[in-house]
Amino acid sequence: PISAVLFDLDGVLTDTAHAHYAAWKRLADELGVPFDEATNEALKGVDRMGSLDLLLRHGGLSVDPESRDALASRKNGWYLDAIQAYGPADLFPGAREALCAVRDAGLRSALCSASRNAPALIDRLGIADLFDIVVDPASVPHGKPAPDIFLAAARQLDLSADRCLGVEDAPAGVAAIHAAGMFAIGIGDPQVLSDADRVIPSIADFRLEDYHAR
C-alpha cells in the first residue's frame, strides 16, 4: 500500500507548463535559437539554469556567467508577468479534488516541483494548505531527472520509496521518480511519457483507488 502521493506542480496541477514554454520561446527567438514545443519537452521539469543551458546548447551558444544570469532573470520576469493574475480558477479541473482525495484517504501529500516560484504559486492557487510538505528545490543537490527531490520528500515524510507514488507531466520528472525507486504516474501523452508506469490524460483522471490497492 502507498502512504503518500508526491505531486509535481507545473503541467500537473496547473497550466504553467505553457507559460514556461512561452517565456523560453521568447528568449530563444531573441537569441535566434530555433525552438518549438518538441524542443521544449526536454526542458520540462528541469530547473531554471539547467533549462537555460539546454536552450543555449541547442542553439550552439555559449555565454559568460553574468549574461547567463541575466538571461535567466529575463525569462523569469516574463514568466512572472504571465502568472501574476493566477488564482484558484487556474487550477486544472480535478486538481483540488485529487489533493483532497489523498487527504481524505489518510495519505500524505508532498509538492516536488523544481520551480523556485512554486511556493508563491500554490498560495495563489489556494492549495498551499493541502500539502503536508513542500520540498524546497534549492535544498537538493541535483535537479530532475536526478531523484533527489523525490527522495527528499520520502525522507521528510519518513517513508520508504515503495510507499510513495509520484505524479509528473515531464519525461525528466518520470525519470526522477523511477530513479528514486517509486511508482510513476504520467499526466499527458503516452508516447511522450512511455517510461511511466501508468499514463492518464489529465489530473481529472486521477483515481487514487487505482493505485492505493495495488
Q: Which residues bind Mg ion (CB under 5 A)?
A: 8, 10-11, 45, 169-170
Q: Which stretch binds ligand BG6 (CB under 6 A): 114-122, 146-154, 156-164, 189-197?
A: 114-122
Residue 184 Cβ vs Mg ion, minimum distance, rounded to whole Å? 13
Active-site residue flag, 10: yes
Q: Does 8 qualify as catalytic in the annotation?
A: yes
Report whether 170 contacts 144 (CB < 8 A): yes
**Among positions 5, 33, 39, 47, the unique one binding ligand BG6 when judged by CB under 6 A:** 47
106 φ, ψ (degrees, to nearest 5): 80, 10
Give the binding-site size for ligand BG6 (rule: CB under 6 A): 18
Residue 117 binding ligand BG6, by CB under 6 A:
yes
Nearest distance in Å: CB 10, Mg ion: 4
- 91 backbone dihedrals φ, ψ, rounded to 5°: -70, 145
Minimum separation from the CB atom of position 176 to Mg ion (A): 11
Q: How far is the CB of 18 from Mg ion (least distance, A)?
A: 11
Tally of CA atoms within 13 A in the half-sphere of 111 that contains its CB: 29
The DSSP bridge pattern shows strands 108-111 and 183-187 to be unpaired
The only residue of 25, 48, 108, 178 in contact with ligand BG6, by rule CB under 6 A: 48
Instruction: Report, in this order, helix, strand and coil percent for the chain, each rounded to 5.
Output: 50, 10, 40
43 binds ligand BG6 (CB under 6 A): yes
What CA–CA distances, in Å, run from 114 to 52, 67, 101, 131, 147?
14, 22, 24, 16, 12
Applying CB under 6 A, the span of 9-17, 58-66, 188-196, 199-207 interacting with ligand BG6 comes to 9-17
Nearer to ligand BG6, 124 or 163 (CB): 124
Instruction: Dihedral sign for Cα 171, 172, 173, 177, please.
Output: positive
**CA 46, 50, 54 angle in degrees (round to 5)?**
100
Name the residues that contact ligand BG6, by CB under 6 A.
Answer: 9-10, 17, 20, 43-48, 51, 76, 113-117, 170
The set of catalytic residues is 8, 10
